[in-house]
Amino acid sequence: MPAPRRIELVLRIDGEALRVSAPQPPSRARLDELLPAMQAIDNAAIDHAVRKNEANTGAYVTCAKGCSACCRAQPVPVTPPEAHALLLLVEAMPAPRRREIEARFADRVARLRDAGLADAFLHRDPDLSLDGARTLARDYFALGLACPFLEDDACSIHPQRPFVCRQYLVTSDPALCANPFENPVDVVPMPLQAAIAMLSAASAVMSTPQHTVPLTLALEHARLHRAALRQRVDAEPVFRHWLQALSSG
Ligand code: SF4
């Protein structure tokens, strides 16, 4: 079997040239099929950001396996193509594992519905104010919904985790992450906005503005929009759109 094709590119960030080798998406692809290439680029940008932050501030990333505060209660935002990728990932799991993960998702969805929050996230009001969004996020946080993929304080889907999970790295005391709404958490600044760029690309493909949903609602959201998310498009122009949008978020 021939080796999977790859794309080689050079990212220029802060005057530095970063060489990236990424898996080449199919020429006609669903949006989620672009994610492996995008994640390879995002990973290179994140590594660069961490190195630069260390050099500039002397502060080191304090996130480590076993520290899962950010996966325990925050409304981790995922884009619709990432939600679709997670749905496909779960649907491809062996039946017992799939049932276990789906049950966890169903539990989180039910608790969000009981709290009257699910629809506010699934069908986001485009005119929601910043204060309104903050209140919604605080209400979500108060429910203490752990990510369904969190197991033994570690991410069980680490290679496939969403953009935001990759990018959220702190240099402050990990204890502060237990409540980032009240505590001053030092987050490593990221040069590229991969999720925002994906929203831009997905909005263009789907001809309607797209928004993120908390990861706990990812399967629900992807099921609601499965037909649109299943469409295949010419990958190259969408990928170029994403690359251009990366630094303008
Ligand atoms: S996908 Fe993984 S890293 Fe992201 S919130 Fe869930 S457990 Fe944490």
Question: Using alpha carbons only, how large is the chain's radius of gyration in Å?
Answer: 18
Q: Name the one residue in this structure whose structure tokens are 């530095």.
A: 16
Mean pLDDT, to the nearest integer, of 16-44? 96
What rounded mean pLDDT belongs to the chain? 94
- The angle that helices 80-91 and 35-57 make with each other, rounded to 10 degrees, is 120
Mean pLDDT, to the nearest integer, of 116-137? 95
* CB of residue 165 inside a 6 A radius of ligand 1: yes
Residue nearest atom 1 in ligand 1 by C-alpha distance: 161
Residue nearest atom 2 in ligand 1 by C-alpha distance: 155
In angstroms, what is the span from residue 15 Cα to ligand 1's centroid?
A: 32
* pLDDT bracket for residue 179 (50, 70, 90): confident
Work out the widest C-alpha separation in the chain, in whole angstroms: 54
* CB of residue 101 inside a 6 A radius of ligand 1: no
pLDDT of 97 above 70: yes
Ranges assigned E (strand) in the chain: 6-13, 16-23, 28-29, 77-78, 150-151, 154-155, 213-214, 233-234
Q: SS3 string of 58-69?
A: CCCCCCCCCCCH
Nearest ligand 1 atom to alpha carbon 154: 7
* pLDDT bracket for residue 244 (50, 70, 90): very high
In angstroms, what is the span from residue 134 Cα to ligand 1's centroid?
A: 21
Residue nearest atom 8 in ligand 1 by C-alpha distance: 71
* pLDDT tens-digit map of 113-123: 999 999 999 99
Residue nearest atom 5 in ligand 1 by C-alpha distance: 71
In angstroms, what is the span from residue 97 Cα to ligand 1's centroid?
A: 17
